[in-house]
């Protein structure tokens, strides 16, 4: 049996701090074998830099997934080619830099496949069908890949749930990301597939999905454009912990994880 931790969208400095501290705490509490993190908002709430990606890997993150904000930092267009552990959505148009699927060998010796997909409902840009893309990716899965987990980066809960049922029994886990709010619907679907509609956010929850709440409220009231700064304060890390049999890829248990750090620690 192996323990896999999937951390929700890392939002700015508070999110990075929460992730670093949570991984250290989690490893004290659980024998974590692999870590997958959505890092598309890690750089000030918009994109990810090479330095941050390297920090994540130094903290023991095995794969970094993303979504619609992957290209917010232009440097990602080039460094993603040199860092196979950083993914962009697999269903992006042909010719898009980087890859949406990777297989890595874990510290325990088994091989973890991670597939990054992006939904189409209420999302921009509009990518190819994630369901057909999932079929195409799994058709190319190498035989030596023991476990496959999927980050379904999407706005609509219905689209995420549909993907969970579509891949039930075919992958070890389907985790939703993007909305920054953890859902309480974690379960193991028939066939041994972990599922959660959204793993939540690593960041400051004294905010509106990680950004200044007053600026966000003002935008809703006035309907005027404006920039809302990412909040750096009390840090929380949300995610899903899965127990998976690496012999058959079936998940047997899931548990929501949330660590709160009441002070803005260094």
Catalytic residues: 69
Q: Indicate the pairing of strand 9-10 with strand 173-177.
A: unpaired
Q: Which residues contact 219 (CB under 8 A, 6 or more apart)?
A: 225, 226, 228
Q: At what angle do helices 157-166 and 130-139 cross, to 10 degrees?
A: 30
End-to-end CA distance of the chain: 34
DSSP sequence for 120-137: -TT-SS--S-HHHHHHHH
Q: Which DSSP category does 33 fall into? A: -
Nearest Cα neighbor of 44 from 262, 263, 210 is: 210
Cβ neighbours of 219 (radius 10 Å): 16
Half-sphere exposure of 179 (CA within 13 A, CB side): 20
Q: At 169, phi and psi to the nearest 5?
A: 85, -5
Q: Give the 3-state secondary structure of residue 22.
A: helix
How many whole angstroms from its chain centre is CA 12?
14
In sequence order, which ranges of the chain are alpha helices (DSSP H)? 12-29, 50-58, 76-82, 130-139, 157-166, 213-222
Q: Cα separation of 172 and 81, whole Å?
A: 27
């Amino acid at each position: 049996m192996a323990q896999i931790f999937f951390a929700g969208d890392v939002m700015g400095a508070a999110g990075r701090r929460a992730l670093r501290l949570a991984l250290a705490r989690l490893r004290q509490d659980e024998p974590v074998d692999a870590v997958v993190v959505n890092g598309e908002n890690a750089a000030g709430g918009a994109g990810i830099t090479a330095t941050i990606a390297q920090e994540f890997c130094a903290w023991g993150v095995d794969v970094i997934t993303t979504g619609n904000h992957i290209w917010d930092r232009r440097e990602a267009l080039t460094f993603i080619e040199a860092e196979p552990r950083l993914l962009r959505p697999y269903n992006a148009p042909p010719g898009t830099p980087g890859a949406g699927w990777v297989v890595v060998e874990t510290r325990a010796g088994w091989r973890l496949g991670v597939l990054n997909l992006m939904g189409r409902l209420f999302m921009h840009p509009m990518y190819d069908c994630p369901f057909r893309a999932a079929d195409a990716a799994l058709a190319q899965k190498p035989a030596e890949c023991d476990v496959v987990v999927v980050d379904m980066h999407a706005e609509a809960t219905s689209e995420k749930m549909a993907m969970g049922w579509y891949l039930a029994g075919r992958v070890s886990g389907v985790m939703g990301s993007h909305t920054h709010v953890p859902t309480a619907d974690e379960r193991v679907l028939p066939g041994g597939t972990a599922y959660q509609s959204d793993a939540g956010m690593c960041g400051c929850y004294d905010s509106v999905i990680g950004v200044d709440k007053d600026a966000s409220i003002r935008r809703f009231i006035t309907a005027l454009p404006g920039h809302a700064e990412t909040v750096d304060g009390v840090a929380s890390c949300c995610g899903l912990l899965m127990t998976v049999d690496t012999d058959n890829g079936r998940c047997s248990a899931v548990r929501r994880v949330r660590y709160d750090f009441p002070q803005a620690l260094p």
